[in-house]
Structure 1
Amino acid sequence: MAEQLGFFAKNGYLLIPDALSMAEVELANATIDQDLDENETLWRHRSNGRSQSVNILLAQPDLDFTMRPTSVLPLMESIMGPDICADEHSVMIREANPTGPTECIWHRDSCGGGTKPPYFTRYLSIVFYLTDVDETTHTFSVVPGSAQTSQPKGIDEYDLTKAHHIEGNAGTAILFNAYTIHAGNVRNTTAERRTIHLYCGHISDRFVSNFTIFPRRLWENKDDATKKYYSRLNPISRLIADRF
């Protein structure tokens, strides 16, 4: 783990092959198919073939394992410390794009960066590939090291040709500092790309977003560590947990 953490400290991201088993990947994809059929109105269809659901956990308990993933939890806790907590969960689909426009819109999430070395990570994001990703498909892409300081430079000050367009088989996880410059790299491809995205913060810090409603089954009657992970809810989750 020390080598992995050293890589993250320098680059602000880390690739974990086989973080999900093939059985877990198949379960996740089947559950997403079911949700698209049963709850299509809860999906947001955006530009350039991107669809997203931020509340699939409400209806699909079979995806609960993806919000507190045991395979990468030790790394998550090492980067974020003992006060790590859940912040956001979503599923994203990028449709095949044989002849349409391409794009790679570089950005930082609006959460702000961290100030504490060696990881400088205020919020941690995890991306799971649910489909194989290679040079012929859409990718998740990052600019290595672009948030690994207390005073990151502007996007236009980085050489974006040195970006890493991350490839990996279905089941791969990418841990990254959420303030790292990143993008969804939309290519001309005949392949659909599926991903699960989650964000984690610190119990003592502000929530990163107010989109995902976390159902109470995630923490009720669970062990103390799990309860702590879900103890700093975003406002919409807190309101529903208190009133319903």
Structure 2
Amino acid sequence: MVAQLHLPALTEQFEKDGYLLIPNALPAEQVERLNLAIDRIIAEEPESLAYNVYHSVESDPAILELIDHPQLLPLMVKLLGYNIQLHISHLTVRKPNPADFKTATSSFINWHQDGPHPSFPAIGGLTSTYYIKICYILSDMSEPNRGNTKVIPGSHRIPDFKPNDYDVNTPVEGEVAICGKPGDAFIFPQNLWHAGSPNRTEGFERRQLFIGYSPIWMRPIDYHTASEQLLAGANPLRRQLLGDISTNYFNYYVPNLDQVPLKQYSDH
């Protein structure tokens, strides 16, 4: 399991580079349990070279467990504040596709920043951080050309930044392919320029699970209201992450302290 994290140093690195790579975020047995869940999930989908499963926390308890990861959740509070919620749970699976066959769902994503259309407001050519994703790597992504996510470090701090080419297949100055082993995790905000490259390596399947967090006053992507299935047995921390803090929606903007138990991590 991941060692105790030094949050101030990680926060400084995140602000500078726009991403973090956390080795051994998940133990091997948890990776195995997640992959068994993914096997079942994609077996219920139409056969494809590429799978995109949104709202995946509803699909299996093993995925739901990730939203309150005991080491990474305090880091999310450090980066985003304590008034946060689950924003998105997006499972991506990419089978080898060296011939670049067209798929029903995207098998790669060109360079972009995340966000709505029209985009988040910018001041002086810069967009604030509105949400942050943790990507759990669940297959061997230790080499490039396996469908790795690419990032441009520091691009979130450059006013009016645009890559010299939006095509993920064209090398971009300063790009980094995130390479990691099963159980590693990398973290990035929506305003960092990033892309999802094709998987062109025979014998390797890309499996990545994105768990995103946003302020609780934003509408999450997964659902408007968490289901009773998700809320069943949820402790106060998880209930907050599932957006169930009050029937008075004013509290989503100005919560009472007893409605946001994640505050316990804010002084770490």
Paired position in structure 1 for 2:51: 51
Q: Which amino acid in 1 is paired with 2:135?
A: V
> Aligned partners of 1:58 and 1:104: how far apart in 2?
25
Which residues of 2 match residues 186-201 of structure 1 at below 5 A?
186-190=198-202, 191-201=204-214
TM-superposed deviation, 1:99: 3.7
| CA deviation vs aligned residue, 1:35-73 (integer Å, no higher than 9, x gap) | 223x326x9x5xxx3211113333422321123322311
Aligned-partner residue type, residue 143 of structure 1? I
Structure 2 residue 28 is the aligned partner of structure 1 residue 16 = no
SS in 2 for 1:8: helix
Contact (CA 8 Å) 1:126, 1:174: kept in 2 or not? Answer: yes
> Are 1:215 and 2:223 counterparts?
no
Say which SS state the counterpart of residue 240 (structure 2) adopts: helix
Q: After the TM superposition, which residues 109-128 of structure 1 pair with which residues of structure 2 at under 5 Å, given as runs?
A: 109-111=114-116, 112=120, 120-128=128-136
Find the counterpart in structure 2 of residue 72 from structure 1. Answer: 72
Tell me the TM-score normalised to structure 2 length: 0.72
Give the stretch that moved more between structures: 189-198 or 60-69: 60-69
User: Per the alignment, in what secondary structure is the counterpart of residue 174 of structure 1?
Assistant: strand
- Deviates most, 105-114 or 10-19: 105-114
Q: 1:130 corresponds to which letter in structure 2?
A: L
What is the root-mean-square deviation of aligned Cα atoms in Å? 2.9
Query: Which structure has the larger Rg over C-alpha atoms?
Result: 2
Alignment of 1:36 onto 2:45 = no
Note the 1:153-164 alignment, pairs <5 A: 153-156=161-164, 160-164=172-176
> C-alpha deviations, 1:155-188, integer Å up to 9, x for none?
4499922111010101111110112111111142
Q: How does 1:116-155 map to 2 (within 5 A)?
A: 120-133=128-141, 134-148=143-157, 151-155=159-163
Q: Which runs of 5+ in 2 are unaligned?
A: 1-5, 102-106, 246-268
Residue correspondences, number: 222
Change in CA separation of 1:94 and 1:215 when aligned onto 2, cut-off 3 Å: same
Percentage identity across aligned positions? 24
How far is 1:198 from its partner?
A: 1.7
> Secondary structure of 1:98's match?
coil
Is the 1:113–1:122 Cα contact (8 Å) retained in structure 2?
A: no
CA contact (8 A) 1:120 1:148 kept: no
Residue type matched to 1:66 in 2?
L
1:223–1:100 distance in 2 versus 1, CA, 3 Å: closer
**Alpha-carbon deviations, 1:6-35, whole Å to 9, x = none?**
110101111001111111110000111112
* 8 Å contact from structure 2 (residues 18, 153) kept in 1: yes
Q: More deviation in 78-87 or 62-71?
A: 62-71
**Matched residue type, 2:200:** N
Greater CA drift, 68-77 or 2-11 = 68-77
Between 188-197 and 55-64, report the one with greater CA deviation.
55-64
1:202 to 200, 212, 215: 215
User: Larger deviation: 60-69 or 96-105?
Assistant: 96-105
Residues 124, 177 of structure 1: 8 Å contact kept:
yes
Alpha-carbon spacing, 1:69–1:217, altered in 2? closer, same or farther (3 Å):
farther
Counterpart residue type for residue 147 of structure 1: H
Instruction: Give the drift of 1:100.
Output: 3.3
Conserved? CA contact 1:14–1:176, under 8 Å? yes
Whether the aligned pair in 1 keeps the contact of 2:86 and 2:220 (CA below 8 Å) is no
Structure 1: any 5+ residue segments left out of the alignment? 234-244
Question: SS state of the match for residue 112, structure 2?
Answer: coil
The secondary structure found in structure 2 opposite 1:105 is strand
TM-score scaled by length of structure 1 = 0.79
In 2 relative to 1, CA 199–3 (structure 1 residues): closer, same or farther, beyond 3 Å?
Answer: same
